Structure 1
Amino acid sequence: MPGAEVTADPGQGGRFGLFSVRERIPLLGGRLDIAPLAPGSRVTICLPQGSASRVS
């Protein structure tokens, strides 16, 4: 779903583990960009279609 937005509410304990995600995305042929915003940050993840089928 291009341009999908996912949010986590820190008050609800939502955590995505960006360190782990940062390590795994290149293994799938993708890229992770993190850009500072005021306030907050923008996290963009780009993966090739079908990359999930290559994960065992």
Structure 2
Amino acid sequence: MTFRVVDAAAVNQRLLRRGVIVRPIAAYGMPDWLRVTIGTESENSRFLEALEGSL
């Protein structure tokens, strides 16, 4: 799943510090977007909590 954020590089770094791996897709002409793979319910909850704290 892809999603748009204001500063994808910064959000990516903040997520990494929280132990959450997403993929920047700036190389595909989408500099403000990140990609995440859908996981289990608990993984998705963890991702959403980390994302909320990283925006």
TM bucket by the smaller chain? 0.3 to 0.5
Higher relative contact order (CA 8 A, sep 6+): 2
Larger radius of gyration: 1
Higher helix residue share: 2
Higher strand residue share: 1
